[in-house]
């Protein structure tokens, strides 16, 4: 049994119990939260609460009891699927991989056996993965959207999973994304610190908000290259974005908020195909990952060049380049697959100046 006591703060005041629990408990979906509530595992201010729609108030105390649902060793409630994985590093409990487009991270309606979690079970076995996020998400440390590609972490033990999640919580995991956005981004660096909340009108969308239900979200960006306007668009800018928090759709929501939506974004972007350079998904790639291995203390840094479809979009813009910034001159060759530049990128001392300072 795992018991956790939570206190409702100002952001949670007025929120539905199931929605709030899904936000507060790492790795717990809204459906899983509803199951916890319905089973009597949630105590609100000393009394069992079985209403998922109960509205919380500031200062409420919530006690959640979660029972381990491990299967016998070698067994799993989640089927393994022989999905190819591009693993870049595996040592002890720590795994670094590059996720392909179209791969969902964990089971959800319509994706029961074709996810990254299924692929991890097939590769390592369910008994050799971290289960802190539940048996439906073995090995999962953090998520990338289905059509976002690039580097991410996985864990082969509970201990590694907890330690890697702590790196995210303490903002010690350096995650950088290559992002092509609509329009001319004038600043060379920028900070977006607007909160993010779920849309009241469409539960599949997130919105930038300063409202009381919004959760803190911090993104910084560095401009790498700008491209002139064309007959059907207002130009483009290639950015490197740095996440300090990990909210759902964070970069996509923040870029749309500053009127520079991500190219190809089907939810927050521009629908005109001519403005999306032929892309059928968002131009968003987790291209650099740096952290201290919690098991060995070794500093690790990885870089992952753009996949072919995103590289193709940049190729279409090559003749429209207005030039690269100083940082762009250093990073874009690596992004576009130059082996020597990729090697240099993972060397120590390449961190960009933090625009928050």
If asked whether residues 303 and 211 sit together in one domain, one would say yes
145 in catalytic set: yes
Q: What is the CATH number of the domain that holds 56?
A: 3.10.290.10
Instruction: Determine the Cα–Cα distance for residues 122 and 81; give it in Å rounded to an integer.
Output: 5
Q: Do residues 179 and 229 both lie within one domain?
A: yes
Same domain, yes or no: 92 and 182: no
What's the CATH code of the domain at 275?
A: 3.30.2350.10
Rg (CA), the chain: 21
| Terminal CA-CA length for the chain | 43
Residues 184 and 333 in one domain: yes
Joined together, the tokens standing for residue 245 give 């928090």
Phi, psi of 340 (to 5 degrees): -65, -40
- Please tell me the total count of domains within the chain: 3
327 and 278 within one domain: yes
User: What percent helix, strand, coil does the chain show, rounded to 5?
Assistant: 25, 30, 50
Residue 73 within a domain: no
CB count in 10 Å sphere of residue 248: 16
Residue 270 within a domain: yes
306, 238 Cβ separation under 8 angstroms: no
Same domain, 332 and 232: yes
Neighbouring CB atoms inside 10 A of 64's CB total: 19
Instruction: For residues 23 and 132, state if they share a domain.
Output: no
Residues 135 and 160 reside in one and the same domain: yes
Q: Is residue 164, in this structure, part of any structural domain at all?
A: yes
211 and 334 together in one domain = yes
**CB-based contact 208:254 (threshold 8 Å):** yes
Same domain? 11 vs 136: no
Tens of each residue's pLDDT in the chain, 357 residues: 567 888 888 777 888 998 888 888 876 777 788 888 988 889 999 888 988 889 998 889 999 987 654 444 434 568 888 999 999 999 999 999 999 999 999 887 777 788 999 999 999 999 899 988 878 889 999 999 999 999 999 999 999 999 999 999 888 999 999 999 999 999 999 999 999 998 888 877 899 998 888 889 999 999 999 999 998 899 999 999 999 988 989 999 999 999 999 999 999 998 776 678 989 899 999 999 999 999 999 999 999 999 999 999 999 999 999 999 999 999 999 999 998 999 888 876 555 544 544
Q: Is 320 exposed, middle or buried (0-12, 13-18, 19+ CB in 10 A)?
A: middle
Tell me the residue range of the domain where 27 lies: 2-66
Catalytic residue of the set 18, 145, 233, 304: 145
Cβ atoms of residues 146 and 104 within 8 Å = yes
Is there a single domain that holds both residue 119 and residue 211?
A: no
Domain end point (choices 169, 192, 222): 169
DSSP 8-class letter at 111: B
CB 127 within 8 A of CB 105: no
In a domain, 11, yes or no: yes
**Is residue 142 located within the same domain as residue 258?**
no
Which of 169, 187, 218 lies at the terminal end of a domain, its last residue? 169
């Amino acid at each position: 049994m795992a018991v956790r006591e939570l206190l409702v703060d100002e952001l949670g005041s007025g929120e539905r119990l199931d929605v709030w629990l899904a936000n507060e408990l790492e790795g717990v979906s809204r459906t899983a939260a509803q199951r916890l509530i319905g089973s009597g595992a949630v105590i609100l201010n000393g009394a069992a609460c079985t209403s998922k729609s109960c509205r919380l108030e500031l200062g409420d105390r919530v006690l959640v009891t979660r029972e381990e649902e491990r299967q016998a060793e070698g067994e799993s409630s989640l089927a393994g699927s022989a999905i190819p994985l591009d693993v870049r590093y595996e040592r002890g409990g720590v795994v670094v991989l590059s996720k392909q487009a179209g791969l969902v991270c964990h089971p959800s309606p319509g994706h029961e056996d074709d996810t990254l979690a299924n692929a991890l079970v097939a590769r390592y076995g369910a008994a050799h993965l971290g289960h802190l996020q539940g048996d439906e998400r073995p090995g999962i440390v953090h998520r990338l959207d289905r059509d976002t590609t690039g580097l991410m972490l996985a864990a082969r033990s509970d201990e590694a999973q907890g330690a890697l999640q702590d790196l995210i919580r303490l903002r010690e995991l350096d995650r950088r994304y290559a992002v092509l956005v609509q329009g001319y981004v004038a600043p060379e660096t920028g900070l977006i610190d607007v909160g993010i909340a779920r849309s009241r009108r469409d539960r599949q969308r997130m919105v930038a908000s300063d409202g009381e239900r919004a959760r803190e979200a911090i993104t910084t960006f560095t401009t790498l290259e700008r491209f002139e306007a064309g007959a059907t668009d207002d130009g483009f800018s290639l950015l490197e974005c740095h996440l300090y928090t990990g909210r759902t759709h964070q970069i996509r929501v923040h870029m749309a908020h500053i009127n520079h939506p991500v190219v190809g974004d089907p939810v927050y972007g521009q629908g005109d195909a001519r403005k999306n350079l032929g892309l059928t998904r968002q131009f968003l790639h987790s291209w650099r990952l740096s952290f201290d291995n919690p098991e060995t203390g070794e500093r690790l840094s990885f870089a992952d060049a753009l996949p072919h479809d995103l590289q193709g979009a940049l190729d279409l813009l090559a003749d429209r380049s207005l030039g690269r910034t100083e940082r762009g001159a250093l990073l874009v060759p690596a992004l576009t697959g130059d082996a020597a530049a990729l090697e240099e990128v993972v060397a120590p001392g390449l961190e960009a100046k933090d625009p928050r300072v």
